[in-house]
């Protein structure tokens, strides 16, 4: 069994954006959008005791990814390696998944008009390569591997060295992007960039809570009405209309 | 030529009259409408099936997972399912556009719609009596109807209102028009409009294909004609209108073919 995960070592990350550039180039990400990007926390403390953190943000391929049930057409799916991916040919670009993501890791591609996001470079991984961001990182801050493999570096970083998930008590959806570093650094990042509650656009909520039950009810009632009429017809027999 | 009087209200027919009327037919549907109807029926079967299979999210789906899986396997993939839904949907819209362009004056002008599908007092009474009758709660005789009965009119009104909505929202989703939020609303509205029409379709199919009294109407969707007994008993207003037209034509025809007596005299004298 495979469960791909990624760990970012905040001690090594210098925020150079090489990962962002590599990802943009690999996946033809349009200007102004990103599958992965860098965010800086505010600087804390007083000189010379200053501290700052860098968040390497990307889709966390969550165990309980809110984008999966949000997608009406099933375009969002989980592959055999645990990566959450988008089937562009089925995506209608409704944006429900974008609203549902607690990490704002999705966007609607302005040219393709489909949802787009990091999928741990699944096509590259299928060819036996590392994700573009991992392969490019000049400081080797990013580590990618199989969390189910005891020999994998990510297994050791997560289970032996305590790399952390970006979660809060309220929002814990099982992300598989982990962060490791000095406790102060990690705490800064976790405090500065907590996941937000997943939400659903009004249209999506109305569909689920009002339209679906009403339509199912209306169709069911009509069908039941016709069934009653049909059995009434069977019971009383048919007469030729001319008579 | 002697013409028989056309009653203003339905009166009981004698056995001879029924036999004679059964042999005569009135044209109810043009071949273009018959073809459009069956094309539409086939499209609806496919589009409904693929459409409900495409809504696979647990919180939104309206059919069992097994149905979705079966249809996906039959199509080969979900992408193919989407391609079929889109391709067929766009073809459907194109065909209806041609129908709208060429059949506007014949089928869609305000005058035609008012005459054929606007509900009048007879229609409202018909709806009440028909529903109660089917449920065995009324034995009142049905008020006379036009070329379409009130049930057909009601369904037509719903379809005429819903079809442009289904087409527009389908196009918005297919081509991602007006932005992401609008696509989200379009998906919801598409679902509601199709659901509404499908509720009506259940009644339409039952009344057309199963309900014994309407069987001639069902067969007319193949032959284009109904016999006069059916027209008289189910669509009296239309039957009367057609007979009056027929009678007027016969009178005009008779006048045209009868030789002018003055001209006849002139020719004999020369």
Question: What's the pLDDT at A243?
Answer: 42
Question: What's the pLDDT at A38?
Answer: 96
Beta strands A76-78; A84-86: pairing state = antiparallel
Question: What's the pLDDT at A240?
Answer: 52
Q: Which of residues 38-97 of A touch B (CB under 8 A)?
A: 69-75, 87, 89-90, 92-96
- Tell me: pLDDT of B1 over 70: no
Q: What is the pTM of this model?
A: 0.88
Question: What's the pLDDT at B265?
Answer: 56
Residues of chain B with CATH 1.20.950.20: 116-256
Average pLDDT on A45-64 reads: 92
Q: Predicted confidence band at B260 (pLDDT cuts at 50, 70, 90)?
A: low
pLDDT in tens, B187-240: 999 999 999 999 999 989 988 888 877 888 889 999 999 999 999 988 999 999
What is the signed CA dihedral for B130, B133, B137, B141, rounded to 10 degrees?
80
Question: What's the pLDDT at A242?
Answer: 46
B134-149: burial string, b at 16+ Cβ within 10 Å, e else: beeeeeeebbbbbbbb
Q: Which H or E run includes A192?
A: helix A183-192
pLDDT in tens, B81-132: 999 999 999 999 999 999 999 988 888 888 888 888 899 999 999 999 988 8
Question: What's the pLDDT at B210?
Answer: 83
Q: Return the residue in A70, A71, A76, A89 with the most chain B beta carbons within 10 A, the one to mutate for interface testing.
A: A89
pLDDT in tens, A204-232: 999 999 999 999 999 999 999 888 888 88
Q: Predicted confidence band at A127 (pLDDT cuts at 50, 70, 90)?
A: very high
pLDDT in tens, B118-155: 999 999 999 999 888 877 788 888 899 998 889 889 99
| Cα–Cα distance for residue pair B108/B116, rounded to 1 Å | 10
Q: Which residue in chain B has the smallest CA separation from A219?
A: B199
- Tell me: pLDDT of B186 over 90: yes
- Cβ separation A208–B55 shorter than 8 A: no
- Cβ separation B54–A90 shorter than 8 A: yes
Q: Taking all residues of chain A, what is their mean pLDDT, rounded to a whole number?
A: 94
* Residue with more model confidence, A209 or B270: A209
- Cβ separation A203–B196 shorter than 8 A: no
Lowest mean pLDDT among A11-15, A154-158, B37-41, B143-147: B143-147
A50 forms beta bridges with A45
- Cβ separation B59–A98 shorter than 8 A: no
Q: Return the residue in A207, A216, A228 with the most chain B beta carbons within 10 A, the one to mutate for interface testing.
A: A207
Question: What's the pLDDT at B114?
Answer: 87
Mean pLDDT comparison of A50-64, B139-153, B247-261, highest-scoring range: A50-64
Q: How far is B205 from chain A (nearest CA, A)?
A: 10
| Cα–Cα distance for residue pair B91/A99, rounded to 1 Å | 33
Cβ-Cβ pairs closer than 8 A, A with B, add up to 133
- Tell me: pLDDT of B46 over 80: yes
Q: Predicted confidence band at B270 (pLDDT cuts at 50, 70, 90)?
A: very low
CA-angle at B268, arms to B264 and B270, nearest 5°: 120
Q: Return the residue in A33, A69, A72, A234 with the most chain B beta carbons within 10 A, the one to mutate for interface testing.
A: A72
Q: Which of residues 136-195 of A touch B (CB under 8 A)?
A: none
Cis bond leading into B146, ω under 30°? no
User: Does A243 contact chain B (CB < 8 Å)?
Assistant: no
Nearest to B212 among A218, A223, A239 (CB): A239
Q: Which H or E run includes A152?
A: none
- Note whether B35 and B77 are within 8 A (CB): no
| Angle subtended by helix axes B150-175 and B121-134, to nearest 10 | 90
Q: Which residue in chain B has the smallest CA separation from A75?
A: B78
| B188 contacts on A by Cβ (under 8 Å) | 203-204, 206-207, 211
A115 forms beta bridges with A108
Question: What's the pLDDT at A234?
Answer: 83
Q: How far is A108 from chain B (nearest CA, A)?
A: 8
Q: Taking all residues of chain B, what is their mean pLDDT, rounded to a whole number?
A: 89
- Tell me: pLDDT of A201 over 90: yes
Nearest to A69 among B58, B62, B234 (CB): B58
| B116-256 has CATH 3.40.50.20 classification | no
- Tell me: pLDDT of B267 over 60: no
């Amino acid at each position: 069994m495979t469960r791909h995960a990624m760990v970012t070592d905040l001690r090594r990350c210098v925020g150079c954006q090489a990962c962002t550039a590599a990802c943009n180039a690999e996946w033809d990400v349009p200007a102004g959008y990103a599958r992965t990007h860098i965010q800086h926390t505010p600087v804390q403390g007083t000189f010379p005791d200053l501290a700052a953190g860098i968040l390497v943000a990307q889709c966390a391929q969550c165990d309980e990814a809110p984008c999966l049930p949000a997608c009406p057409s099933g375009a969002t799916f989980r592959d055999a390696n645990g990566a959450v991916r988008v089937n562009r040919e089925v995506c209608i670009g409704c944006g429900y998944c974008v609203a549902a993501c607690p990490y704002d890791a999705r966007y609607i591609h302005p040219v393709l008009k489909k949802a787009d996001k990091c999928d741990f470079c699944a096509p590259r991984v299928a060819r036996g390569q590392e994700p573009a961001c991992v392969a490019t990182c000049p400081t080797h801050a990013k580590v990618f591997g199989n969390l189910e493999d005891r020999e994998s570096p990510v297994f050791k970083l997560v289970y032996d060295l305590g790399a952390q998930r970006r979660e809060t008590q309220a929002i814990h959806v099982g992300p598989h992007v982990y962060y490791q570093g000095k406790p102060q650094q990690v705490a800064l990042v976790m405090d500065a960039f907590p996941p937000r509650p997943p939400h659903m656009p009004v249209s999506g909520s109305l569909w689920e809570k009002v339209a679906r039950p009403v339509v199912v009810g209306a169709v069911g009632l009509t069908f039941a009405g016709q069934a009653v009429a049909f059995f009434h017809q069977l019971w009383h027999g048919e007469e030729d209309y001319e008579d | 030529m002697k013409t028989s009087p056309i009653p203003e209200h339905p009166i009981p027919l004698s056995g001879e009259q029924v036999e004679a009327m059964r042999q005569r037919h009135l044209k109810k549907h043009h071949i273009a409408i018959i073809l459009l109807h069956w094309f539409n029926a086939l499209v609806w079967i496919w589009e409904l099936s693929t459409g409900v299979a495409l809504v696979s999210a647990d919180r939104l789906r309206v059919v069992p997972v097994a149905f979705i899986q079966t249809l996906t396997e039959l199509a080969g993939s979900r992408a193919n399912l989407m391609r079929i839904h889109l391709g067929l949907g766009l073809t459907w819209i194109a065909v209806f556009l041609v129908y709208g362009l060429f059949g506007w004056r014949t089928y869609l002008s305000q005058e035609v719609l008012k005459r054929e599908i606007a509900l009048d007092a007879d229609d409202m009474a018909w709806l009440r009596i028909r529903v109660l009758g089917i449920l065995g709660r009324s034995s009142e005789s049905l008020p006379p109807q036009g070329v379409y009965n009130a049930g057909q009119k009601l369904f037509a009104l719903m379809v005429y209102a819903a079809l442009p909505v289904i087409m527009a929202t389908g196009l918005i989703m297919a081509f991602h028009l007006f932005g992401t939020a609008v696509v989200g609303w379009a998906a919801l509205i598409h679902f509601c409009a199709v659901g509404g029409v499908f509720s009506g379709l259940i009644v339409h199919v039952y009344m057309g294909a199963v309900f014994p009294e309407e069987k001639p109407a069902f067969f007319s969707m193949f032959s284009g004609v109904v016999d006069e007994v059916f027209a008289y008993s189910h669509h009296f207003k239309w039957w009367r209108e057609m007979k009056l037209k027929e009678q007027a034509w016969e009178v005009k025809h008779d006048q045209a073919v009868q030789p002018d007596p003055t001209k006849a005299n002139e020719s004999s004298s020369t």
